[in-house]
Amino acid sequence: MTTQSIEELKSQGNKAFSSGDGATAVKFFSQAIELDETNHVLYSNRSAAYSLLKDYNNALIDAEKTVLLKKDWAKGYSRKGAALIGLGRIDDAIKAFDEGLSIEPNNQVLIKGKQEAESKKSQKGFDMSGLFNNPKAREFMNDPELMAKIIDFQSNPKNIMKYLNDKKVMEAISVLSGLSRSGDNNEADVPKEEVKEEPKKEEPVKQETKEEEPIATERMESDKEKALGNEFYKKKEFEEALKHYDAAFQKDETNVAVLLNKSAVYFEQGNFEESIKQALETVDKGREIRADYNLIAKAFARVGNCYMKLENYPEAIKYFNKSLTERRNADVLNKLKEAEKLLKEKEMRDYINPEISEKEREKGNELFKAGNYVEAMKHYTESIKRNPSEPKGYSNRAACYNKLAAFPEALKDCEKCLELDPNFIKAYIRKANVEFFMREYSKCMSTCREAMDRDKEGKHTHEIQQQMNQCRLATQSAGSQEEIVQNAMKDPEVQRIMTDPIMQNILQQMQSDPKALKDHLKNPMIADKIQKLIDAGIIRLG
């Protein structure tokens, strides 16, 4: 395999690492190492990926391999220090950072790493450096699950409450704490009288302060350049903003927020590919220096926004989810929902094909004629998916549902069909037929009347009248008049008519004077309501 393929694997590993996928990063770096076992950069990258997975044992092994292959490369020592901090070996971590600083004194990652290690050392707990020669301690160190609990307690002593009932953890803490106090480093204890002489060892404090001054100065100068860049960004002078952001990063490479600002500039310029690149570099550099998770979350959200602009919704969803993993944010959650909605709509649009839709409908027709309604319905459904704006598919599927006695589904399809084409007479007839089988006779009659009104050419008059006659007979044979009224009152529209005070007066008048019906029918609104009651069987003529 060629060097180019090794670089390709490395690039894929870097991309996975930047997106927070440590397991995939390890896989690609391991494949690259199989092709070139002398490449120190590959071991360094895999060490970082293991640290991301909190697999600090393997991270240390790869870091030590990196140092062995390239002793004068400062980055290897930063990997080693990070792994040692993860293992709780703080003194060893400080030594590793010091070794790196002896090669590259101004390396910001090493300086920050050492500061973190020294900060941890000053906190209460125990340092596991030097404990590996003790058999009992070594037994604990070889238990990854136990070590994870110990490190959890060490990073936050309050967490000990979680492990009070875990005998193994409490025993380990007791042993390790005892070893930390005794030193267990084959050196004699310092007599109390000699403690007074220790301040002599602290004399280099002034020198350390001098070494820290350039760091603070570099960050201050970096922040000044960043502030200038922000001013130009606000004025939409993007090229000037980029110059200052570049200058800010050159002055302090740990000021990774500058990279996210550059990403914002490219986003505003519509250069979404470059914006993505800068945002992912923010993640990469940010993880390297253990930046605040809020920054990582913002970077992932920026990538998601870029992919939204590019209409690459799967990638947008992926990175919005990564952002939410780092930090729960309402705006990002809303963007995720929007991306999921747009993806679904796009998939539906991409799936539309009227030609295939018609073929599927024809297959459904053949199966329907053969009485295979279940299979016919499947083809009608596919026809609808392929062309959801074509009403015929809904009408045909409604006929299938009707045959299978799935009346609510049939009614829904009829209504969708009529929504797409209000003059689809066949759909009215099918709807009336469904309502008839559901014993909603007044609705059936109303649907038939609407079909009759829209059938201007009279092509379906016979079929409509046949359905109306069938409905009338069913209404009359539905039981006693009292039962008919009770069934009719289940219809909300009939209920409204019967509880209308005006209609109640009219009905009372009709009982005392049947001829009054003719006068009331002259009013179109009253006539419609009376017709509804006639259709429901509440009013009987003749």
In CATH, which of 1.25.40.10, 2.30.42.10, 3.40.50.2000, 3.40.50.300 is domain 1-122? 1.25.40.10
pLDDT at 324: 92
User: Residue 329: helix, strand or coil by DSSP?
Assistant: coil
Alpha carbons 297 and 327: distance in angstroms, whole number: 6
Q: Which among 72, 96, 101 has a CA at the least distance from the CA of 83?
A: 96
Angle at 93 between CA 87 and CA 98, to 5 degrees: 170
Categorize the per-residue pLDDT at 373 as very low, low, confident or very high, splitting at 50, 70 and 90: very high
Residues 6+ apart with CB under 8 A from 220: none
State the DSSP code for 185: S
Q: What is the mean pLDDT of residues 371-389?
A: 94
CA distances from 458 to 430, 446, 464 (A): 17, 18, 10
Where is average pLDDT lowest: 68-72, 313-317, 491-495, 514-518?
A: 514-518
For the segment 127-157, what is each residue's pLDDT rounded down to a tens digit? 555 444 455 555 665 666 766 676 666 656 6
DSSP 156-177: -GGGGGGGTT-HHHHHHHHHHH
pLDDT at 479: 57
The answer to whether 361 and 380 have CB atoms below 8 angstroms apart is yes
Check if 263-351 and 481-542 are the same fold. no
The answer to whether 267 and 276 have CB atoms below 8 angstroms apart is no
CB-facing half-sphere around the CA of 40: CA atoms within 13 A: 17
Q: What is the pTM of this model?
A: 0.48
Q: Which among 49, 58, 41 has a CA at the least distance from the CA of 13?
A: 49
- Per CATH, the homologous superfamily of domain 263-351 is Tetratricopeptide repeat domain (1.25.40.10)
Alpha carbons 13 and 186: distance in angstroms, whole number: 43
What is the residue extent of each domain of the chain? 1-122, 127-184, 214-255, 263-351, 481-542
Categorize the per-residue pLDDT at 522 as very low, low, confident or very high, splitting at 50, 70 and 90: confident
Q: Which run of H or of E encompasses 419?
A: helix 407-420
In CATH, which of 3.30.420.10, 1.10.260.100, 3.90.930.60, 3.90.1170.50 is domain 481-542? 1.10.260.100
DSSP 194-234: GGGGGGGGGTTHHHHHHHHHHHHHHHHHHHHHHHHHHHHHH
Q: pLDDT averaged over the chain?
A: 82
Helices and strands (DSSP H and E) totals, the chain: 29, 0
pLDDT higher than 50, residue 199: no
Alpha carbons 168 and 174: distance in angstroms, whole number: 10
Residue 307 tokens read as 């992919």
